[in-house]
Amino acid sequence: MQRREFLKTSAIAGSAYFLFRNRALAATADAHIEVLLGEPIATIQPEIYGHFTEHLGGVIYDGVWVGEKSSVPNVRGIRKELVEKLKAIKAPVIRWPGGCFADSYDWRDGIGPRDKRPRRTNFWVDDPQAQKLPNTAVQKFEPNTFGTDEFVDFCHQSNAEPYIAANVRALSPLSFDQWVEYCNSPAHSTTYADIRAASGHADPYNVRYWGIGNESWGCGGNFTPEEYSNEYRRFTAWVPDYGVDPRFVASGPNQDDVDWTTQFFEDILHRRPIRPPFGWSVHNYTNALEALNFNDQDAYSLFYHGTSTEAIIQNMWTAMSVFDREHQTRMVVDEYGPWYGPGTEVDPTHIFGQQITMRDAIVTAFTLDIFNRHAEKVCMANCAQLINCIDSLFLVHEDKFIVTPNFNVFEMYAAHQGAKAVRAEFSAPSISFTDIVKPDRWGPPRQGERSVQRSLNGLMGSASVNGKELTLTVVNPHLADALNTQIAVRGGNAASASATVLASSDIHAHNTFEQPNAVTTKSAQATASGSTVSFTLPPMSVAKLEITLS
């Protein structure tokens, strides 16, 4: 046999072998993933892995701030263990002071000597959970112990960038200019820089991210889109730069309100054009009644409704592109997560506090996957909220501290930060379930409830590449079935693969102060051969595959 002929024959034999082998694998696999290395999406901005802290319930007081004299280990009053954990997950950015609180907050109350700061009525004073608390509760009447200096210190200790939301409902653009001046004017240049220096911070904070209001269609002022775009102009026109190039985030729609988006962008880019905002804020909570008491149908329903974040991102992007053809503005999903009724908070002062189960970890994980898959559209996201609140990573009270399964998700997904998202296709049998649709998702069962047959994707995830490292994160939302999964790496070979898995045999599983490690990650086996990686995803699990490309 001629050498050429031999090579041809052996190539055919080789491909037949691989084809056969792949068919054999395909026959035994329940699920398939194709990672297309040659189809990059965009760099995943680390800020997609951001957090949110509001003066609400136990988030700031008891959560972040324990005070310098506390027996709880702290650095300048800030909870030490929290900071260590934020560094571990490379928290890139933290949003503050709200939320709805932001549009009732006067930043001047929170600067200068702490013992001289005024007490004010907290935005959340009339919340039913707050009403049960005594009037001495900081959750009702804000002592302003934690202000701008403490927040920036918290960010600096955690290696995160501060993202501050301005009060558009009740303060003026001048007051906003002065807050920027307080944070960013050079040492000893202004009276506010001197006040900052007197608190021990001569050097400017160089805060880049500024939210122009919060939910301006609702608690942030009940504005119409026209009114809000006028406010946006007034608040952002000629704000001093101080060499920081501030990045303004405009207050976007309530969930899928495309009209709000269209009217805002038409106004500021067409009717009377100004510089487009850096970010367009989008909020999307997935509401259900109970954090711990739920059945399989409820879990699938939450998953199904949680995936609406993807459609919202796509719909907003389309609406924005009508006026912002170059896509100068990208999306900032600065509040998201599953949100339940009260009853599972670890302390009565923790308004909106809730337990976090495997169900929430799954929603949080596939939401982060959605952001990765739309890395060209989403430039920041902030999970609501960091600690003792809605979709928290931490539950703490006084000296008790636990991480929730959401923390494990952020820990696993940190590998995506700054990597290049690449297209990946996920296929597995879809999950069919009966969803109970209520006129009001929050409310008790009532007349008008109807059942709808729905279908949920059986496998979700995202992929990114950093040099030779391919990170693939995957969610199996099925509550009973494991997925024997075959991953095809198109355009490369897998030299080795390892897996980390967050799973439990019970979707209700969660950590408590008594059992802090009931849910945690484990290493698992993944097999790499040529361009194929094989791995079994347990039921109701989140997994990270780290694949080294050759």
Q: Which amino acid type is present at position 216?
A: S
Q: Smallest gap, in angstroms, from Cβ of residue 488 to ligand AHR?
A: 40
Contacts of 409 (CB under 8 A, 6+ apart): 361, 364, 365, 368, 502, 542
Whichever of 390 and 456 has its CB closer to ligand AHR, that residue is 390
- CA nearest to 202, candidates 189, 211, 213, 214: 189
Q: Smallest gap, in angstroms, from Cβ of residue 63 to ligand AHR?
A: 13
Q: Which of 63, 98, 221, 306 binds ligand AHR (CB under 6 A)?
A: 98
> Does 345 help bind ligand AHR (rule: CB under 6 A)?
no
Site string for ligand AHR, 1-40 (x = CB under 6 A): ----------------------------------------
Are 193 and 204 a contacting pair, CB within 8 Å?
yes
> Does 391 help bind ligand AHR (rule: CB under 6 A)?
no
Q: Cα-atom radius of gyration of the chain, to the nearest Å?
A: 25
> Does 63 help bind ligand AHR (rule: CB under 6 A)?
no
Are 169 and 228 a contacting pair, CB within 8 Å?
no
Are 220 and 169 a contacting pair, CB within 8 Å?
yes
How crowded is residue 525: how many other Cβ atoms within 10 Å of its Cβ?
Answer: 11
For ligand AHR, the binding residues in 211-230 under the rule CB under 6 A are 214-215
Q: Which of 307, 357, 385, 536 binds ligand AHR (CB under 6 A)?
A: 385
> Does 138 help bind ligand AHR (rule: CB under 6 A)?
no
> Does 333 help bind ligand AHR (rule: CB under 6 A)?
no
Give the chain's count of helices (H) and strands (E). 12, 26
Q: Which of 37, 100, 313, 475 binds ligand AHR (CB under 6 A)?
A: 100
Q: Which of 310, 324, 335, 360 binds ligand AHR (CB under 6 A)?
A: 335
Whichever of 131 and 550 has its CB closer to ligand AHR, that residue is 131
Mutual orientation of helices 308-321 and 296-306 as an angle, nearest 10°?
A: 10
Q: What does 118-180 look like in DSSP terms, one character per residue?
A: PPEE-GGGGSHHHHTS-TT-TTTEE---S-HHHHHHHHHHHT-EEEEE--TTTS-HHHHHHHH
Binding-residue total with ligand AHR (CB under 6 A): 10
Distance (Å, whole) CA 416 – CA 90: 11
> Does 354 help bind ligand AHR (rule: CB under 6 A)?
no
> Does 185 help bind ligand AHR (rule: CB under 6 A)?
no
- CA nearest to 530, candidates 483, 498, 487: 487
> Does 181 help bind ligand AHR (rule: CB under 6 A)?
no
Are 464 and 44 a contacting pair, CB within 8 Å?
yes
Give the end-to-end CA distance of the chain in Å, rounded to a whole number.
32
Contact region with ligand AHR (CB under 6 A), list: 97-105, 136-144, 201-209, 490-498: 97-105
- Give the residues across from 353 on adjacent strands: none
Alpha helices in 377-484, H assignment, sequence order: 405-413
> Does 54 help bind ligand AHR (rule: CB under 6 A)?
yes
Whichever of 337 and 538 has its CB closer to ligand AHR, that residue is 337
> Does 298 help bind ligand AHR (rule: CB under 6 A)?
no
Contact region with ligand AHR (CB under 6 A), list: 93-101, 169-177, 453-461, 477-485: 93-101
> Does 77 help bind ligand AHR (rule: CB under 6 A)?
no
> Does 390 help bind ligand AHR (rule: CB under 6 A)?
yes
For ligand AHR, the binding residues in 479-508 under the rule CB under 6 A are none
Whichever of 281 and 473 has its CB closer to ligand AHR, that residue is 281
Q: Smallest gap, in angstroms, from Cβ of residue 155 to ligand AHR?
A: 19
Structure tokens at 273: 């054009």
In three-state secondary structure terms, 63 is coil
Q: Which amino acid type is present at position 59?
A: V
Are 165 and 220 a contacting pair, CB within 8 Å?
no
Q: Which of 384, 456, 497, 524 binds ligand AHR (CB under 6 A)?
A: 384
Whichever of 99 and 306 has its CB closer to ligand AHR, that residue is 99
Q: Smallest gap, in angstroms, from Cβ of residue 100 to ligand AHR?
A: 4
Q: Smallest gap, in angstroms, from Cβ of residue 351 to ligand AHR?
A: 9
Q: What are phi and psi of 92, to 5 degrees?
A: -90, -30
Which residues lie near ligand AHR (CB under 6 A)?
54, 98-100, 214-215, 335, 384-385, 390
